[in-house]
Amino acid sequence: MGKYMVDMDWQEPAPLPDADVKDLLKRVQDGDEKARHRLIETNLRLVRMVVQRFAPWGYEPDDLFQIGCIGLVKAVDNFDPDFGVKFSTYAVPMIIGEIRRFLRDDNPIRVSRSLKERGFRIKRAIESLTQQLGRGPTMQELARETDLETEEIATALEAIQLPTSLSEPIYQDEGAPILLSDQISTPEDEIDWLDKVMLKQVLARLGERERRLITLRFFQDKTQTEIAQLLGLSQVQISRLEKQILKKMKRIIAPDYRPT
């Protein structure tokens, strides 16, 4: 797959007519490696187009381009003419999905796009003022430069900081390293602490009624019949809602989760 990892400045071949694309796809299904390589090369423009959409995230375009190429290769290998869509229509979501997966795994703390953009704008202002002043700017100087409140600046800069792993060593001498997690919890309760943090975050993303149902069911040990009486619903409705909420919670914890 590495031979398709090319520089963003490389000039890919011109797009092919639909008839040629269909012919190449048929040959790919027959195991023609040259056709596969040709199809990938002539569709690199799709990757370039998608990468432009992710420019505000602050990642190097070349890095995102390489990740996007992986999505394109998967699209070529998995496309089936029976899908009833053009290859490009199928490939673009595959490329976007691969880049989004990379961004999600690279930064597990989700920050809104607008907050990220503000953070990177502030960083550029810091670099500019540092060159002008010969020193780092104060918060007041940054506020004047960006037309933002100091609290907004602090929040935005905090949002784009890379998270620190709990497994990161904070001190090491001749013996075993001391990890960040060692300063937060003891080994026996570390997993329980992490589970509580994750559960709190998941519950915060549920609606008020969903959160109440889960609290009654799993924290107050109420039966579905008891909850139905409290919420003015039938037991069947509570059962259905409970299944839907649990599936939703699984999707929040693992976005790739698909119910069987």
State how far the Cα of 217 lies from the Cα of 43, in Å rounded to an integer: 51
Q: How confident is the model at residue 255 (pLDDT cuts 50, 70, 90)?
A: low
Q: Output the average pLDDT for the chain.
A: 76
**Structural domains in the chain plus CATH codes:** 2-106 (1.20.120.1810), 113-159 (1.10.10.10), 178-253 (1.20.140.160)
Section 33-46 average pLDDT: 88
Q: Note the pLDDT tens digit of each residue in 185-228.
A: 444 444 454 456 567 777 888 888 888 888 888 888 888 888 88
State how far the Cα of 114 lies from the Cα of 143, in Å rounded to an integer: 18
State how far the Cα of 52 lies from the Cα of 68, in Å rounded to an integer: 11
The answer to whether 47 and 72 are in contact (CB under 8 A) is: yes
Tell me the range of 129-138, 176-185, 197-206 where mean pLDDT is highest: 129-138
Nearest to 253 by CA among 200, 213, 188, 216: 200
The answer to whether 73 and 40 are in contact (CB under 8 A) is: yes
Q: How confident is the model at residue 1 (pLDDT cuts 50, 70, 90)?
A: very low
What is this structure's pTM? 0.40
Check whether 93 has a pLDDT greater than 80.
yes
State how far the Cα of 124 lies from the Cα of 147, in Å rounded to an integer: 14
The answer to whether 179 and 167 are in contact (CB under 8 A) is: yes
Say what the pLDDT of residue 193 is: 46
